[in-house]
Amino acid sequence: MSPHKSSNVIKYCIVTSTTTIVFIFISLIPVTKKAFYWNQCFKKTYQWIDKNEMELKNWDKESKQSIAVAVCNGAVYEPKLKKSNLID
């Protein structure tokens, strides 16, 4: 193989690799935006629950977070909460 052909192969590989990386980054933009907005929803919802909901003041952090996740995922119904009879 002549030196001229090998430099062309390297050039094509670099162009193809660069193009592929650019397309991957472009395809990640919508996912990144959606994740950013979901994280903002989660933070604001959790802070609102922690600050304003007096009925949930005694709940642990994980329970409040699970409610925030449900709200941000679109579960905007009014659940009927039942108290557990478990003894700690």
Q: Are 72 and 42 in contact (CB under 8 A)?
A: yes
**d(C-alpha 32, C-alpha 61), whole Å:** 26
How many distinct structural domains can be found in the chain?
Answer: 1
Contact 42, 69 (CB under 8 A): yes
Domain residue limits at 36: 3-72
Counting residues of the chain whose pLDDT is more than 90, the rounded percentage is 47
pTM beyond 0.75: no
| Cα 85 from Cα 88, distance rounded (Å) | 10
Give the up-direction half-sphere exposure of residue 18: CA atoms within 13 A in the CB hemisphere: 6
In the structure, what pLDDT confidence band is assigned to residue 6 with cuts at 50, 70 and 90?
Answer: confident
pLDDT digits (tens, 9 = 90+) for 40-82: 999 999 998 888 877 877 888 898 899 899 989 987 666 566 6
63 inside domain? yes
